[in-house]
Structure 1
């Protein structure tokens, strides 16, 4: 089995695009390590400026443990830091809505 593709959407609070970009430009090395070690690679996030919707796209290695990131203290600390500029759940995780793949071209 090859790579797995994953896409989801999240939402920024109004006026927070520059701050979101600033924080991600300074992403913590330890957070990048947690993400990579869980089997996620080729990770991009795009912004629809009209709606403040973030579109995230990841490739995951077979046997990845991406679902376990939520248990890592570094990830939880990041969520807490981001909670003031995004729509979040009660645990400060971003509200994340999976998207169904409708087309892929190699």
Structure 2
């Protein structure tokens, strides 16, 4: 499983409309996101329009390809593109990915495995 986090910036003057577009998202777009294999998908909005997105997937390249070929996703992203600062291309494809540097579960599992190895000797 891959965890993906990305960052975009929403134009401050369009924040209210951006929020309205997500309350709710089109049902057919929600279905496409799920069909692409993305799950546990969230968006978080910070000061100044900073937008952080997060999702999990088994194959991010396949999920990206599925959405890139989806007419529903193309329509959604065409309507959403104007909301973002300095973005060229489809928002879903052009968002800036963030590098994961810490994940609690992974580190707990590694620590448990290390502790277990120490007791086997």
Q: What's the TM-score, normalizing by structure 1?
A: 0.84
CA RMSD of aligned residues (A): 1.5
Structure 1 unaligned regions, length at least 5? none
**In structure 2, distance between residues paired with 1:86 and 1:104:** 28
Q: State the shift of 1:22 in Å.
A: 0.8
C-alpha distance after superposition, 1:60-105 (max 9, x if no partner): 1x2452111122111110111112222331x4x1240000001111
**In structure 1, distance between residues paired with 2:20 and 2:95:** 21
Secondary structure in structure 2 of the residue aligned to 1:6: strand
Q: Does 1:55 align with 2:52?
A: yes
Pairs within 5 Å for 1:38-53 = 38-49=36-47, 51-53=48-50
Query: Where does residue 30 of structure 1 map in the other structure?
Result: 28
**In structure 2, distance between residues paired with 1:102 and 1:56:** 16
Q: How many residues align?
A: 100
Moved runs in structure 1, 4+ residues, more than 4 A?
A: none
Secondary structure in structure 1 of the residue aligned to 2:102: coil
Structure 2 unaligned regions, length at least 5? 106-121
Q: Does 1:105 align with 2:104?
A: yes
- Ranked by relative contact order (alpha carbons within 8 Å, sequence separation 6 or more), the top structure is 1
Contact 2:38–2:63 (Cα < 8 Å) also in 1: yes
Secondary structure in structure 2 of the residue aligned to 1:25: coil
